[in-house]
Structure 1
Amino acid sequence: MAGASSSLRDEDLPRLTAELGLPGIIDVHTHFMPPAILAKVWDYFDSAGPLLGRPWPVTYRGSDEERVAHLRSMGVRRFSALSYAHKPGIAGFMNDWTKQFAERTPDALWSATFYPEPDAETYVRELVEGGVEVFKVHVQVGDFAPNDPLLEPVWGLLAESGTPIVLHAGSGPAPGDHTGPAGVADVLSRHPDLALVIAHLGMPEIHEFLDLAERHDNVRLDTTMAFVDFWGLPVPDDIPPRLLDLQQRLLFGTDFPNLPYVYAHQVEVLQRLDLGDDWMRSVLWHNGADLFGVEA
């Protein structure tokens, strides 16, 4: 299987970050979910469903504690616990669980989600006032438009608070009815200060989402699954120079634990871009540390 092997091993990462002069890695895109929901996610990947179109063996299973321990062993100092609501009425349950996870896992960012529903503004406001650190929204899985009218007050609230939102709006691994940059651009036209983190560099619409980041100072992108061998796709020649120009607004992300390859491969493919040690330091640590107030 493409991407199953990597010359860089997970156990090599502490040495690599030390050579870069970094205290470790900040991963903005990792998943910890209520066990029953995570089991369904893994069942979906195991089925190699129609949206995937290929085998997708999840590399990192085991308990929450075992997966947290593995992140720590690689020198991942802070990481998210992204859950995403896929239907109305479930966000509260997921948010209660991720709050408890953050309380018992001090190196996890307190993460939450929301869905276009009448009470979304109310529970998002309560979370923001309580100190939640990051939200996750998944347009394809939730099957809703980013510019759904029910989300308008939520976006206004989050633009004011500055709370980051990891937003999966790109059309990969398969398009949905509402994926792509158009709905996100519409939201940003009314809320230009939103601290959006475009997941997966917006794949496959990387160019269009980079355009949005170039137009909006608070739009960032994460590297999750970008350029990995699993896709078998070349890196477009014009993308690395644009990533260098946006050095301060790229965040490291992986999709751990739901990876069909080893974690270190995501670092390896960023090294292949050959954008320099300073760029790697920004992506692996400094940009995430600045966004979430993480001290070395």
Structure 2
Amino acid sequence: MSAEADEVTGFWRELGLPGIIDVHTHFMPKRVMDKVWDYFDSAGPLLGRAWPIEYRADEQTRLDQLRAFGVRAFTSLVYPHKPDMAAWLNEWAADFASRTPDCLHTATFYPEEFVDSYVDQAIQSGAQIFKAHIQVGDYHPNDPLLHPVWGMLEDSGIPTVIHCGSGPAPGTYTGPGPVREVLLRYPRLPLIVAHMGMPEYSEFLDLAEEFDGISLDTTMAFTDFTEEKTPFPRSELPRLRALGDRIVFGSDFPNIPHRYLHALESLTRLDLGDDWLRGVLYNNARARVLPRQG
């Protein structure tokens, strides 16, 4: 752990940063995390390749690892795959945040009866970020049951990390079209498009140019693992640079098939400059994700 930690901390110190803000990390109840790991362990036929979990360890070891890397704020992105699951995940995440001060208070939702009630409760209890997973949840983001939820999140300014791209595996409602339906109804909604929207990179950059509330996280984008099958088009690098204040760092820790350092080095290979890197690794999330912290 210490050798890699030294490399990671050296990376951000050389940029003159106080650390890293990682908006896309996963901490979950143990039985849920175990099921997620089981999925990745057996997902080879679906994904077309093995997906080893680089940081498979107990919860405290994973926390220690992020802190050793100098990650100053991170998330406990939880998400339901069926009804009657989101509310108790929110209870767990609220407790986790209360005992883990460097973790942003995270919450989630699902299109179901009373969703507006438990989302409002999460907001009132101090939720700082939400997670929506369109592929796993298999729901349309513009489901009428979610209209009050999006309205509350638009009004509160609390961002939602939304896995809505069609990678690594497509879902019934993934892709930019369903998300755009939501944004036409709630144009100020702050969304963080996970994984840069892969593989529909260009289309999600279009949404970011059209709607000011859209950010994109770098989670697993640009890495060797992703570039092998769904490379980011180099013709879009000028737009990526122009949208520099809307790009935030995410890692998918601990569920990544590569070292944490590789995600950072992959950003450097884009050759978009140190100012761009400083924004992505810390400053943009500080401005767009953490303002409710003061």
Calculate the TM-score normalised by the size of structure 1.
Answer: 0.95
1:240 maps to 237
Q: 1:215 aligns with which of 210, 219, 235?
A: 210
2:67 aligned to 61, 72, 83, which one? 72
More helix by share: 2
- CA deviation map 1:28-77 (0-9, x unaligned): 00000010000000011111344322111101011111001000101111
Summarize the Cα distance change of 1:272–1:217 in structure 2 as closer, same or farther, 3 Å threshold.
same
Q: Confirm or deny that 1:47 pairs with 2:45.
A: no
Whether the aligned pair in 2 keeps the contact of 1:10 and 1:262 (CA below 8 Å) is no
The aligned residue for residue 225 of structure 1 is 220
1:183-237 deviations in Å (ceiling 9; x for gaps): 1000000100000000000000010011000011111000001011013144312
SS in 2 for 1:210: helix
Asked if structure 2 preserves the Cα contact closer than 8 Å seen for 1:289 and 1:295, the reply is no
Query: Of the candidates 26, 35, 42, which is equivalent to residue 31 of structure 1?
Result: 26
Structure 1 stretches lacking a partner, 5+ long: 1-7
- Scaled by the length of structure 2, the TM-score of the pair is 0.95
1:271-296 alpha-carbon deviations (Å, 9 max, x no partner): 00000000000000001111213989
CA deviation profile, 1:61-103 (whole Å, cap 9, x unmatched): 1111100100010111100000001100001111111111111
Q: C-alpha distance in 1, partners of 2:188/2:266?
A: 31
CA displacement at 1:242 relative to structure 2: 0.9
**Residue 170 of structure 1 pairs with residue 165 of structure 2:** yes
Higher relative contact order (CA 8 A, sep 6+): 1
Distance 2:24 2:186 in 1: 23
The amino acid across from 1:74 in the alignment is: F
Question: Do residues 186 (structure 1) and 184 (structure 2) align?
Answer: no
**Residues 90-105 of structure 1: pairs in structure 2 closer than 5 A:** 90-105=85-100
Q: Does 1:287 align with 2:293?
A: no
- The residue that corresponds to 2:256 in the other structure is 259
SS in 1 for 2:209: helix
1:92 & 1:186 partners in 2: Cα distance? 26
Q: Cα distance, 1:129 vs. partner?
A: 1.6
Q: 1:294 to 1:64 in 2, by over 3 A?
A: farther
Q: 2:247 aligns with which of 245, 250, 273?
A: 250
Checking the alignment, whether the CA contact within 8 Å between 1:10 and 1:263 is kept in structure 2 is: no
Shift of 1:9: 4.3
Using the aligned pairs only, state the percent identity: 55
| Structure 2: distance between partners of 1:258 and 1:10 | 18
Partner secondary structure for residue 21 of structure 2: strand
Partner amino acid, structure 2, of 1:182:
G
Residue 108 of structure 1 corresponds to which residue in structure 2? 103
Q: Which amino acid aligns with 2:162?
A: L
Counterparts of 2:232 and 2:174, CA distance in 1: 22
Aligned-partner Cα distance in 2 for 1:52–1:119 = 35
1:128 matches 2:123: yes
Aligned counterparts, 1:136-175, within 5 A: 136-175=131-170
Aligned residue for 1:94, secondary structure, equals helix
CA distance in 2, matches of 1:285, 1:148: 34
The 8 Å contact of residues 228 and 265 in structure 1, kept in 2 or not, is answered as yes
Structure 2 residue identity aligned to 1:206: Y
Secondary structure in structure 1 of the residue aligned to 2:73:
strand
Give the secondary structure class of the aligned counterpart of 1:122: helix
Gaps of 5+ in 2: none
Q: Secondary structure at the match of 2:46?
A: coil
**What SS does the aligned partner of 1:178 have?**
coil
Q: How many residues align?
A: 289
